[in-house]
């Protein structure tokens, strides 16, 4: 923890200036969007003319918006459910039976980071456009690709939960007390992953909701998700799109807040 430094008064002012300065600049686009979404009109002036909630009213009564939002929620939930079902057993098997594979897995989960989505799209479009499994243009291909985007985050979070427990000792203890491997996994391992898992799920949800590249290139308007809808609305009123952006951002805020609540460490109460 930071100690009071030699010339503390002088440097404290400097550090505060730096932090507040950078944070204000970072806040600027968000606040501007907020103000824009609340202003009745804001033309060629520095400050808006008046305030209104009309844009939000318009947005929330637009069935196209509600449908797009619903589609996004559906796809994100489905992708995360798929990821959880695929990743949790895989990590358990890696950690418990093949610990040497962890290194390989750590390399593999870098791929979704290292290969830009645009590049993956090139291959995905050709592989699944006219094949025996024509899923381009359907939500199915998004669910599959979103699994790869969520994978690094989910793997790291769950792997961290695994390293935090003495997995082998816990399994041994459960076995000696008469539990089968499946019982031990279900009753002991899974409950201990809950926090890390939930945190990573909310976090993944928040950035899957903002995913545009795959949605635009692989599916586009054929299954309009929130981001596609947002992009397609670019020609309409800027106030309307601002209200849209802020609604989206509010949702992301909620998700990241939930994620941080679950990732907070429990306070140890030793007696």
Partner 1 sequence: MSYVNVTQLTKRFGDNTVFNDIHFTVEQGEFVTLLGPSGCGKSTLLRSLAGLNPVDGGEIWVNGENITHHSPQQRGIGMVFQSYALFPNMTTAENIAFGLKMKGMGQQEIQTQVQQVIELVALKGKEKHYPHQLSGGQRQRVALARALVVKPRILLLDEPLSALDAKIRKHLRQQIRDIQTELNLTTIFVTHDQEEAMILSDRIFLMNQGKIVQQGSPEQIYTQPANEFVAQFMGNTNLVSASAAKQLFNLDTPHKVAIRPESIYVKEAGRHYEPHISSPQLGVIKQHQLLGNVIRYQVEVHDCELSVDLLNRSSERLLANGSQLELLFNLNEIQPVSA
Partner 2 sequence: MTSSVINTQPRLRQQTKVKWLKLLKPGLCLLPFAVFFYLFQLAPMLWVVVNSFLVEQSWSLDHYHEIFNSSFIQQGFRNSLWLATWSSVIGLAIAVLLVSSLRRINSKIRDGVIAFTNMSSNFAGVPLAFAFIIILGVNGALTLLLKQYGLIDSFNLYGQWGLLAMYVYFQIPLAVLLLYPAFDALKDDWQDAAALLGASSWQYWRRIALPVLSPALLGTLIILIANAIGAYASVYALTSGNYNVVTVRIASLVSGDLFLEPNLAAAISMVLMLILAFITLINQWLIARSYHAKS
- CA 202 to each of CA 72, 89, 254, 258: distance values in angstroms, whole numbers, following the listed order: 14, 20, 9, 7
Q: Which is nearer to partner 2, 26 or 271 (CB)?
A: 26
> Which residues in 229-268 contact partner 1 (CB under 8 A)?
266, 268
Identified binder of partner 2 from the candidate list 67, 73, 78, 90, rule CB under 8 A: 90
Contact 105, 94 (CB under 8 A): yes
- The reply on whether position 103 binds partner 2 by CB under 8 A is no
Residues 6+ apart with CB under 8 A from 248: 209, 210, 226, 230
CB of 178 to partner 1, least distance (A): 4
Residues 6+ apart with CB under 8 A from 145: 117, 120, 124, 214, 218
Identified binder of partner 1 from the candidate list 43, 169, 182, 234, rule CB under 8 A: 169
Q: Assign 3-class secondary structure to 144-185.
A: HHHHHHHHHHHHHHHHHHHHHCCHHHHHHHHHHCCCCHHHHH
- The reply on whether position 163 binds partner 1 by CB under 8 A is no
Distance CA 219, CA 225 (A): 9
CB of 32 to partner 1, least distance (A): 45
Q: How many residues bind partner 2 (CB under 8 A)?
A: 87
CB of 26 to partner 2, least distance (A): 6
Q: Which is nearer to partner 2, 9 or 271 (CB)?
A: 9
User: Look-up: residue for tokens 């950078």?
Assistant: 22
Q: Which is nearer to partner 1, 16 or 166 (CB)?
A: 166
CB of 266 to partner 1, least distance (A): 7
Q: Which is nearer to partner 2, 165 or 252 (CB)?
A: 252
> Which residues in 68-107 contact partner 1 (CB under 8 A)?
none
- The reply on whether position 134 binds partner 2 by CB under 8 A is no
């Amino acid at each position: 923890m930071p100690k009071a430094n030699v010339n503390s008064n002088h440097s404290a002012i400097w550090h505060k200036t730096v932090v507040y300065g950078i944070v204000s600049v970072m806040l600027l686009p968000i606040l501007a969007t907020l103000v824009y979404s609340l202003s009745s009109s804001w033309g060629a002036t520095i400050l808006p003319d008046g305030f209104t909630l009309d844009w939000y009213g318009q947005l929330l009564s637009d069935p196209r918006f509600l449908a797009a939002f619903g589609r996004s929620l559906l796809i994100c939930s489905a992708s995360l459910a798929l990821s959880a079902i695929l990743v949790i057993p895989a990590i358990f098997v890696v950690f418990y039976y093949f610990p040497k594979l962890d290194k390989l897995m750590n390399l593999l989960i870098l791929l979704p980071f290292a290969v830009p989505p645009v590049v993956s799209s090139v291959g995905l479009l050709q592989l699944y456009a006219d094949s025996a499994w024509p899923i381009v243009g359907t939500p199915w291909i998004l669910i599959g690709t979103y699994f790869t985007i969520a994978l690094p985050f989910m793997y790291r979070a769950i792997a961290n939960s695994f390293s935090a427990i003495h997995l082998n000792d816990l399994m041994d203890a459960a076995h000696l007390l008469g539990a089968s491997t499946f019982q031990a996994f279900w009753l002991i391992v899974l409950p201990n992953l809950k926090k890390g898992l939930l945190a990573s799920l909310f976090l993944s949800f928040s950035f899957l909701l903002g995913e545009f590249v795959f949605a635009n290139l692989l599916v586009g308007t054929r299954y309009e998700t929130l981001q596609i809808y947002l992009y397609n609305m670019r020609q309409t009123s800027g106030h309307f799109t601002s209200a849209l952006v802020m609604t989206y951002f509010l949702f992301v805020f909620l998700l990241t807040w939930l994620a941080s609540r679950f990732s907070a460490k429990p306070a140890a109460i030793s007696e």
